[in-house]
Amino acid sequence: MRIATWNVNSVKQRLDHLTGFLKEVQPDVLCLQEIKCVDEAFPTAEVADLGYNAAVHGQKGFNGVALLSRLPLEDVRRGLPGDESDNQSRYIEAVVSVPSGAVRVASIYLPNGNPLGTEKFAYKLAWMERLGEHMRALLALEEAAIFGGDYNVIPDERDAKDPAAWIGDALFQPESRAFYRAFLNLGLTDALRACRDEGGLYTFWDYQAGAWQRDFGIRIDHLLLTPRAADRLRAVEVHKSLRALAKPSDHVPVAADLDL
């Protein structure tokens, strides 16, 4: 089973890129972030023509997450528990039945948190704390689960071309990185790092200052696996070539193959 995550940065603007990725890579489940549209505007018909079911938690103009699956999506849950006043569309999860039983998949668009010293950074940290509590609750179910998404966290210095350039950024703050380590300490596995240890494996290149041309990248898109999923992990691939397309997303997909 192939499960991928991708911050598509506007599903309307990147529809051709999305359909091309679905045709070429053929993920069984794709976690999308920053779709930037309401549920009714999502291209459900276009992805259905390629054999995908869609579950959407959208928002007009920004944010928004979705799950695309070649198998039926069951027990769909929209929104991260823990704060009923939070109206930003950043979390969706569902269950997919597979030969080994079932797998729960979540699409996560974690807050950016910039600039530091504002309510945006406080919101990021509070959101991460809520996510950790939810992960803990799902881990207690002892099921195969994958939390895929744009975490807006650079976990380690090897995950940035120039770590010093990010010292004043919310993505690389000690508090953000500590929460990410706390997710791993719950018993989750960073899928890419379970398979590959080297630096230079980036998933995001800014549109500014020739970041792509200079390979001035960072790794902020992650697939975190519960033990029952991690035990069946076979390979992970970063689909870097999509960043070279015309008018691309500033993120590229990450896909994991699992024996599920």
Distance CA 99, CA 44 (A): 26
24 is known to lie in a ligand binding site:
no
251 is known to lie in a ligand binding site:
yes
26, 18, 101, 99: which is closest to 66 by C-alpha? 18
CB atoms within 10 A of CB 82: 14
Could you identify the residue written with the tokens 């990147």? 14
CB atoms within 10 A of CB 140: 8
CA 117 remoteness from chain centre: 25
Give the pair of three-digit tokens for residue 109: 């668009």
Distance CA 216, CA 160 (A): 8
Catalytic residues: 109, 150, 251
Give the pair of three-digit tokens for residue 189: 């596995």
User: H or E stretch including 183?
Assistant: helix 174-185
Residue numbering of the annotated binding site for Mg(2+): 7, 34, 150, 152, 250-251
Residue numbering of the annotated binding site: 7, 34, 150, 152, 250-251
